[in-house]
Structure 1
Amino acid sequence: MNRMQSELSTATIGRRRANPEALAAKRQARRRQLIDATIDCISRKGIVDTTVPDIARSADMAVGSITQYFDGKDALFTATLAHMSTEFEAAWRADIAAVPENDAAARLRAFLISYFRPDLCQRRKVSVWFAFWSEVRARPKYRAVCAAADAVHDVTLRDLCAAVIAEGGYAGLDATRCAKTLAALSQGLWLELLTGTDGLSREELATHVLLGLTSLFPRHAAHFAA
């Protein structure tokens, strides 16, 4: 190596050392690229049939380079599930935060409508959710991710239901049971998006969950109007 090459090499190393934030951002972007490719592959082929070469091709990366970012296929799949769980939680938290704290019914409505946001309610993503849910029993790592996310989701939904029950004086209604009913309805409507023959839009699916809200809490019907 001549002097000029040596100086250029030293300068390059110096820049890399001087910009750890840039390196971290680049690494994070590559990890996200692989997660997005994993979502695409699972949505098309399912979990069992999705291979590392499939993901590498989708991400336009070399197969061997994946190990620089994830410790194997299982770690990549687990990170993908965690990413989707975090994305969903961030969405419903943002939607609730946009509603005044003293409007219990509107906050509950916002939580459930978040299921049908364009960035979440896609056949591509919904198919991946169901693929992971089908594997939860057999895979402890997936179960741990889902359990943590479900705990936060369920407690928040229960508390929102409890606030509406208290506000409307709905004697005899149990907040936990209402929350489970609404979660099951929302996830069932995701399944309708995935397998239904009617071709319902996101907006039409959301209308069905609003009907469920009105059935449970009829005194707040005006709050749940589509």
Structure 2
Amino acid sequence: EPAPALALGAEGDLAARLAEAEGLAAAAASLADLAAAQEGFDGLDLKKGARNFCFADGDPRARILILGEAPGDEEDRQGRPFVGRAGQMLDRMFGAIGLARDAVDAERGLYITNVLPWRPPGNRDPEPDEIAVSLPFLRRHVELADPQIIVLMGNIACQAAIERRGILRLRGQWVQAFGRPAIPMTHPAYLLRNPPAKRDAWADLLSLADRLESLSV
């Protein structure tokens, strides 16, 4: 289904914040530059209520970039993405196909980030304008990390990267996101609530492993 539209009447303020975000993102020559620019950006009100900035985790040299939604409570506390129960599930999932965020070999590594670097209050879904203002930083993040494959974890990641929602229909289908092959997958938090869905998630992981192997040939 199409992603939600922006609320009417917010175009002027949004345009100014977008322009600032695009300028800051374009000027970043490295991931460290980008992290500093995004953390210093005041065009996202979520920043005021969050405890910590969550930029990324894992190995930026990895072939796979995992794109999540936004920090939860534990991520907000630690300043790292996917470290709560869903993060532990994610580590087990990708460990089953020999991949890990702390792998010594970048070929077996993972690089993990979110659409939003700040926790939304009450763990609510991000608003369309919050996603829009974060997109310039996300696009630049992908350019600088330069992964071979992107994993889109859940609806918000799909909304940001391919402007579509409906993860249960999208999952397992290879698409293009930010000019790269991408595979939507159900979010680990969903799998914790719906254990039978792990069967489909395993099929998606095997599809990812096959694609990685074909890239290595």
- Computing the radius of gyration over CA atoms, which structure comes out larger, 1 or 2? 1
Structure with higher strand content:
2
RCO comparison, higher one (Cα < 8 Å, 6+): 2
